A = this chain, B = another copy of it.
Amino acid sequence: MSFYHEHDKFHVAVDAIIFGFDEGERELKLLLLKRKFEPAKGEWSLMGGFAKESESLDDAAKRILHQLTGLDDVYMEQLYTFGEINRDPGNRIISVAYFSLIKIKESDLELVKEHGASWVPISAMPPLIFDHNEMVAKALKKLQIRARTQPIGFELLPEKFTIPQLQSLYEAIYGKGLDKRNFRRKLLAMGLLEKLDEKEKETSKKGAYFYRFDQDKYNDLIKNGFNFEL
């Protein structure tokens, strides 16, 4: 039943760019690992793995993310497919890159440790193997674009968060400071946040109110296509 047997076949890898946000340090971070096998053993790289005949590419990406973090059902998006001949020296490998946004605190720290992975601030990215730095650069760019059109910030924060926390997240994504009055006004004007009675008191004496993201109101809005610029 196969009509295509005469054509070349390729190893297809899936690489995962995993973003997390550290509310305490107010930094955007990436989950990176030190390779435990050849080639390039001992160097920093993204988490990756090979696609299997029995799964779709999306499923492969989910599997690989799960292997490292124990998480399912997280924000994940295909980024780009890297197909230069010598991107992996000595081997022809086509790599489909996916990026995900996860809540650091929900990830399985045991698993992460087992793989020799760590959360590294994007402001201090080490050199990575192959074309992985290029992948990260592309992912960051796409994250910035997404952040303007979808409320993805909420994927990176715990269920309850404060407005100053959310603001530092956006500042980390855009790599620049934002005016807190303008930020708060635009954000609340969208009507997506529910204010709670509880305060977060660890980072300031006064304390900042917690808010919660209202998924239902958001679903209403996207149908009309709205814009989420902050």
- Residue numbers of A with Cβ under 8 A of B are 1-4, 7-12, 37-39, 50-58, 60, 78, 80-81, 83-85, 90-94, 96
Known: A3-B37, A8-B11, A10-B53. 19 other contacts (CB 8 A): A2-B90, A2-B91, A3-B38, A7-B11, A8-B12, A8-B51, A8-B52, A9-B9, A9-B10, A9-B12, A10-B10, A10-B12, A51-B83, A55-B85, A56-B85, A57-B83, A57-B94, A58-B84, A81-B81
Q: How many copies does the complex hold?
A: 2
Query: Which residues of B sit under 8 angstroms from A38, Cβ to Cβ?
Result: 3
Q: Provide the residues of chain B in CB contact with A56, threshold 8 Å.
A: 83-85
A52 CB contacts on chain B under 8 angstroms: 7-8
Q: A57-B81, A57-B94, A80-B78 are in contact. Are A4 and B8 (CB under 8 A)?
A: no
Residues of B within 8 A of A2 (CB): 90-91
Contact partner of A12 (CB less than 8 A), chosen from B39, B84, B94, is: B94
Q: How many Å lie between the Cα of A60 and that of B85 in the bound state?
A: 11
Q: In the complex, A113 Cα to B56 Cα: how many Å?
A: 36
B residues in contact with A10, CB < 8 Å: 9-12, 51, 53
Chain B hits for A3, CB < 8 A: 37-39, 91
Q: Point out the residue from B4, B8, B57, B60 that lies within 8 Å of A91, measured CB to CB.
A: B4
Report how far A53 CA is from B2 CA in the complex, Å. 20
Assess the B92–A53 pair: CB atoms within 8 A: yes
CB distance from A80 to the nearest CB of B (A): 7
| Sample (13) of A-B pairs whose CB atoms are under 8 Å apart | A3-B38, A4-B93, A8-B50, A8-B53, A9-B11, A9-B12, A10-B10, A10-B51, A12-B12, A12-B94, A51-B83, A81-B81, A81-B96
